Amino acid sequence: MSRVGRLPIPVPKDVVVKIENGEVIVKGPKGELRRILGIDISVSMEKDELIVARANDNRDIRALHGLTRALVANMITGVTKGFEKGIEIVGVGYRAQKAGDKIMLNVGYSHPVEVVPMPGVALTVEGTTKVKITGIDKEVVGLMAAKIKAIKPHDAYKGKGLRYAGEQVRLKPGKAGKAIGK
């Protein structure tokens, strides 16, 4: 049996969970999230916990068991605490600025790049080199961060570009580094 899938999901007091017609609806202080469950996966409420169960031991259903449990747990975390992801801008002259609910990135192109947030996501700029993406859906927050990072991925030799907050970038040695014997 899946080790992740069999763990119960604690439900806080300020969260309301509805399970109807193969769909889980989670409402909390930050908003509401919905997710349709996979075939042969069921979620039931027992006391203050959600239990994810599977109908059989087919390989595909076993794989979905732990995934479904993690997705429902992320829904509960999202409506209570929310999720956030950071992007750092590294490079001389590279910067970000807020323009309404959008952000404008100057990252070495001949024109500034306008980033429009996806529904359910808020973009904020801290200083000129940090962008914070917040929202209640972990999947959408991660997707928005990946789209922003894809605008200017970091350079392997100089390290310039966009990277996730705290990401360690390994720089390749250039031609001079090879001659020394690195």
pLDDT one-digit tens code per residue, 16-61 = 999 998 899 999 999 999 999 878 899 999 989 999 999 888 888 8
Band of residue 141 on the pLDDT scale cut at 50, 70, 90: very high
Instruction: Identify which of 50, 7, 42 has the alpha carbon closest to the alpha carbon of residue 22.
Output: 42
pLDDT > 70 in the chain, percent: 96
Check whether 105 has a pLDDT greater than 80. Answer: yes
Average pLDDT, the chain: 92
Check whether 176 has a pLDDT greater than 80. Answer: no
Residue 28 phi, psi (nearest 5): -145, -170
Instruction: Identify which of 8, 38, 31 has the alpha carbon closest to the alpha carbon of residue 78.
Output: 31
Q: Which pLDDT score, from 0 to 100, does residue 174 have?
A: 82
Check whether 68 has a pLDDT greater than 70. Answer: yes
CA atoms of 118 and 122, how far apart (whole Å): 8
Q: Give Cβ neighbours of residue 13 (< 8 Å, ≥ 6 apart).
A: 48
Instruction: Match 């956030």 to its residue by tokens.
Output: 84
Q: Which pLDDT score, from 0 to 100, does residue 107 have?
A: 94
CA atoms of 170 and 182, how far apart (whole Å): 14
pTM of the model: 0.87
Band of residue 182 on the pLDDT scale cut at 50, 70, 90: low
Q: Which pLDDT score, from 0 to 100, does residue 175 have?
A: 83
Return the H-helix or E-strand segment holding 10: strand 9-10
Check whether 1 has a pLDDT greater than 60. Answer: no
Strands (DSSP E) contained in 60-153 are 83-90, 95-99, 102-106, 113-115, 121-126, 130-135
Instruction: Match 């961060």 to its residue by tokens.
Output: 145
Q: Give the mean pLDDT of 134-163.
A: 95
146 by DSSP, 3-state: which? helix
